[in-house]
Amino acid sequence: MGYYDLTKEERVQFYNSMKDEILIDITENNLQYIPMYSSNSDTYIRKNTYLILGRLYDTNPSFQNRIIQILRELMKSENEKVRQTAVNGLGEIGKKDAGMVLECFETALVDQHHSVRNAVIGSLKKMGQANPKPILSFAKKHLHHPEAEIRREVIHGIELRGRTHPEEVLPLLEEVQFEKVKRVKNMVIHVFGQISYKKGCLEKVVSALLKWENKELVNEALVEILDVHVRYQDFSDKTYQKAKEYIDSHFNLY
């Protein structure tokens, strides 16, 4: 039975039991319950695990070193669900304290399982939104990594920050404008679409793209931006027509 198969009252009871047992692992120098919950097949149980750890880290300074120690230990697990939960837990901590978390992400970025690597992307996104400076520095460090998948992951990881502060991620995207690997290049284009549709963002994106040397990629990015204004029409600051008029006033796209 999954977490959301329980009634509301049962979920509250289950959550409180989880928290009590996780506290046992933390306070009694034990590792029984956290690995058990971290490996659960139910996504929401795993999510509760890393959210509880994140909240305990925030509210109980005396637990912080122990929680970091536990998460580092979980990163060594043979079970990818456990490693995934650990990365997500580190992401919660990294919204305030990024230093030691980013050290662990160096390993997680090359994890053999895609779910762990995806957890890094998700963690970078939420950390970048709340604690951007170290995350943008981390991304910049890996923009030219020899492994294409790592380049793709860190570019994806700065997307969420770019949605509200495109001016902070545009210089990083410019650095990879001549990316040759299609999968990475497509991620650059995808991020342009994602950072262009909120209020005041299209103007900043267009201003940056006017200075780019790779005109082919610029055109592909502009097509994606207009497509996003169709797909996200209910959330976009501008209608597709207004966005197209603005772009056409600066570029001879067609």
- 3/96 same-domain check: yes
- 250/204 same-domain check: yes
- 163/100 same-domain check: no
Residue 163 pLDDT: 94
- 201/240 same-domain check: yes
| Distance (Å, whole) CA 22 – CA 19 | 5
- 141/193 same-domain check: yes
For 18, 37, 130, 161, 207, the CA distances from 165, given in Å and listed in that order, are: 37, 36, 12, 6, 14
- 197/119 same-domain check: no
Residue 254 pLDDT: 46
| Distance (Å, whole) CA 33 – CA 133 | 34
Domain boundary among 92, 112, 130: 130
Q: What's the CATH number where 76 sits?
A: 1.25.10.10
Domain residue limits at 75? 1-130
- Phi and psi at 74, nearest 5°, equal -65, -30
Domain boundary among 80, 104, 130: 130
Domain boundary among 85, 110, 130: 130
Residue 141 pLDDT: 93
Counting beta carbons within 10 angstroms of the beta carbon of residue 41, is it exposed (0 to 12), middle (13 to 18) or buried (19 or more)? exposed
Under 8 Å CB-to-CB from 137, ≥6 apart: which residues? none
Residue 128 pLDDT: 87
- The 3-state secondary structure of 53-70 reads HHHHHHHCHHHHHHHHHH
Euclidean distance between the first and the last CA atom of the chain, given in angstroms as a whole number = 55
- 248/140 same-domain check: yes
- 93/175 same-domain check: no
**Along the chain (254 residues), what's the average pLDDT of each consecutive run of 10 residues?**
90 96 93 96 96 96 95 96 97 90 90 94 89 92 94 94 96 96 97 97 97 95 97 95 94 65
- 120/151 same-domain check: no
- 123/143 same-domain check: no
Q: CA nearest 18: which of 193, 6, 126?
A: 6
Q: What's the CATH number where 206 sits?
A: 1.25.40.290
- 33/156 same-domain check: no
Residue 165 pLDDT: 96
- 90/160 same-domain check: no
> What's the total number of domains in the chain?
2
Residue 253 pLDDT: 55
Task: Say what the pTM is.
Answer: 0.83
